Structure 1
Amino acid sequence: ARYRADTGDARLFCMKFAPIDPWGEGFGGLGHPNSQTQIRMGHELAEALKPWLGKEQTV
């Protein structure tokens, strides 16, 4: 919300993903998400975008 206020751009949104489960998902290189985590995060992002999908946005 602060970045949106600082920029004056009401189209900006931010979300936090669920943390990486080191025992169930593991990590990729240098602590980055691995492919299993990326798939889960993709599903989370798709759910978060559902309210905006199919709606025409004005710029």
Structure 2
Amino acid sequence: MTLPVKDKYDAFIADGLVPEGRWGEPDDVAQVASMLALNPMPYTVGQIFDVDGGLHFHSF
């Protein structure tokens, strides 16, 4: 990640545009990957799982 991109998303976090209020960690993605690998939701088909702390909400 370049510094300008990091600064942009740091500002999003500081402005409250990321509901979680922090940068994501590798474990955040690992938890979703583990859930999908274990297949606890066999009726879920073709879903997109946003692991972004809610960042996509600011586009609504």
Does TM, normalized by the shorter one, top 0.5? Answer: no
**TM-score for the superposition, normalised by structure 2:** 0.26
Work out which structure has the larger RCO, using CA pairs closer than 8 Å and 6 or more positions apart in sequence: 2
The structure where helix makes up a greater share of residues is: 2
- Structure with larger Rg: 1
